[in-house]
A = this chain, B = another copy of it.
Amino acid sequence: MIRQYKYPPVYEWKSLCERPLQNQENLSEQVKSVFDKVKINGDKALKFYTEKFDKVSLEDLKVSESEIIEAEQSVSDELKSAIKIASENIRKFHNSQQEEKKIIETTKGAFCWRESRVIESIGIYIPGGTAPLFSTVLMLGIPANIAGCKNIALCSPPDKNGKINPTILFTANLIGIKNIFKVGGSQAIAGLTFGTETIPKVDKIFGPGNQYVTSAKQLALNYNLAIDIPAGPSEVLVIADESSVPDFVAADLLSQAEHGTDSQVILLSNSEKIINEINIEIKKQLKDLPRKEIAEIALQNSKSILLNSIDEAIQFSNIYAPEHLILAVENAENFTDKIKNAGSVFLGNYSPESAGDYASGTNHTLPTNGFAKNYSGVSLDSFVKKITFQNITKKGIQNIGKTIELMAEAEELMAHKNAVSVRLKYLENES
């Protein structure tokens, strides 16, 4: 079912690493027209599109206090405490990403440092549909919380009864998000971009979504907003050797495959035996999956590749640059230094991707589609800016003044030079 390759020559690796071509329908015109309408008509436009796309007519876009209370009651205590445990772990890990101020005296009398400042207003988009992605509320809401975001607006499309999934509401409320709006698709992103009577304008938009949402986030960039990372279908690359448990690897590959028909899973190994065993396990496990049809299609895009060694597998993986990389090999920690491009890495037999998706504490908003070469996943850094500061003393400017003057002059920027010269002259007269 997964296409198998044996010892492909190195010159074929690059093409083996290519993602399946995405359905690049040009949605930008359609999305632009939604933006234009939302910009002019605000809430009216949002309600119009909600009726059109979500098939529900809403009086009020904002989730009410009583809806949140109601939602809280409908979530089981067991699930509630699971969500709390996960949120503690996510909080611990993202808390550790805070940076302390380091003041560097680069030249005697010239002190330079960086300080983090929160991005004050952010939007979080949570898709609707069958799977209610409350885990993404944790992954985006908790670092926003730690960073100190003042204004967090969460948008998610309503169902046909005009409701948002109760677990999403419970989770948002748990981490103190009060502004939750029943609006989805490109109209939600447009609302966050311009602001409406109900939805606040934000400075940065986070969260996954379908192709309309993705296209809308791209368009928001043109209006001076920032976004988390470019989007693409989810993917995992597993490197397995004879020490790995076929049952586990099969389950990991399937957990990625069930995400969507466009998901991609790659299996690399130095053992043909283990590849065969994993394939047998995949077939076994697939039978019982509720999302079997989705996973089956995803597996058709997928590959298992037999290579000479784990080192070679890591070289291949660095070219692929997977969103998730599972190193299900003996002494996995010995290979970490060789990993150059990946979103999140899972070491050993007992670190399934699911752990990072939900509860170990790492973020699950990660670069896909090869973007692990040039983008980091979401972290506390995504919610702050780092501002540089400098404090130069009289002595300091006397120490580096001449350097600045010479360089400014060579760049033919005499006013830049003069900003130093006036100070040096003043200090000369003073002494």
Contacts and interface: CB of A to CB of B under 8 A. Distances in A.
Interface of A: 78-79, 82-83, 85-86, 88-89, 92-93, 96-97, 99, 102, 104, 106-107, 110, 112, 114-115, 117-120, 130-135, 167, 203-204, 221, 224-226, 230, 245, 247-248, 251-252, 254-255, 257-259, 285, 289-291, 295, 332-333, 336, 339-363, 367, 369-377, 379, 381, 384-394, 396-397, 400, 402-404, 406-408, 410-423, 426
Given A255-B418, A374-B203, A390-B351, A359 B407 contact: yes
Given A112-B360, A350-B392, A387 B131 contact: no
Contact of A426 (B247, B379, B407): B247
Contact of A361 (B112, B131, B134, B342): B112
Nearest to A337: B115
Contacts of A89: 106-107, 110, 400
A407 B224 contact: no
Given A114-B379, A403-B82, A411-B131, A356 B254 contact: no
A367 B385 CA distance: 10
Contacts of A372: 385, 387
Task: Classify the interface of chain A: helix, strand, loop or mixed.
Answer: mixed
A334 to B, nearest CB: 12
Which interface residue of A133, A350, A367 has the most chain B CB atoms within 10 A?
A350
Contacts of A225: 374
B357 A416 contact: yes
A403 B357 CA distance: 12
Given A355-B390, A420-B355, A97 B115 contact: no
